Amino acid sequence: MTASPETDRAQVADRLLGGSVRRSHDSLVEIDWDAPQDPDLFYMPPEMITLYGTPLWEQMSHAERVELSRQEVANVFSRAVWFENTLNQGLLRAMLHQDPTSSHVHYALTELGDETRHMVMFGKMISAIDAEPYRLSKLEAVAVQALPFWYRGLMLYVAALCGEEVIDDVQRQTLHHRQLQPIVAQTMRIHIAEEARHI
């Protein structure tokens, strides 16, 4: 006799919950937020910096290029905080209409916990590199507040997969760069590991 789709879904959720227990990270403990940063190392690979390869880039000193990478990585992680925020709102809205005793709702709540910890980690990283977070403009703030209303049914998961896949791809390209600040690499390593489970 074959299992029902609902039984299969519950088994997958149980497996994911088990994986969350075994492979969750605590960035507040695992990352040395006070470690000194090497002034010669980049915060993101030079090839990914917006001005890379332009005449202006060629005129910049190494220190100016590193500083630009610091500012740009702060922008990337600031945006990631707001993206995670919209996904969390969408997941919470979806769960209003679901069975709170089911394994897949428990896994969604576990993912919410992961995403919330990621938002804390991104904020701590921006602070640790002594950068200012990039704030949303009024128009962007309205869009961020409206997005969760569009995240209904399949659209929630399409948005999650598309957004997380883009972030994951950038992080994988960045992680192994030989000139990367260790604090950025540690942050990305944790995020990649946990998002792989979500995806």
Domain that holds residue 83: 39-198
Q: Does 33 map to a domain?
A: no
pLDDT digits over 65-118, tens only?
A: 999 999 999 999 998 898 888 888 888 888 888 888 888 788 888 888 888 999
The 10s digit of each residue's pLDDT in 1-40 is 566 677 777 787 777 777 666 677 788 888 999 999 999 9
The helix or strand, by DSSP H or E, that contains position 112, with its residue range, turns out to be helix 103-128
The answer to whether position 6 is within a domain reads: no
Is 16 a domain residue?
no
Residue 23 one-letter amino acid: R
Residue 185 within a domain: yes
Query: How many folded domains does the chain comprise?
Result: 1
CATH of the domain at 89: 1.10.620.20
65 exposure class (CB count in 10 Å sphere: 0-12, 13-18, 19+): middle
Structural domain includes residue 117: yes
| 8 occurs within a structural domain | no
Residue 19 counted as domain residue: no
Q: Say how far apart CA 199 and CA 181 lie, in whole Å.
A: 26
- Tell me whether residue 160 is in a domain: yes
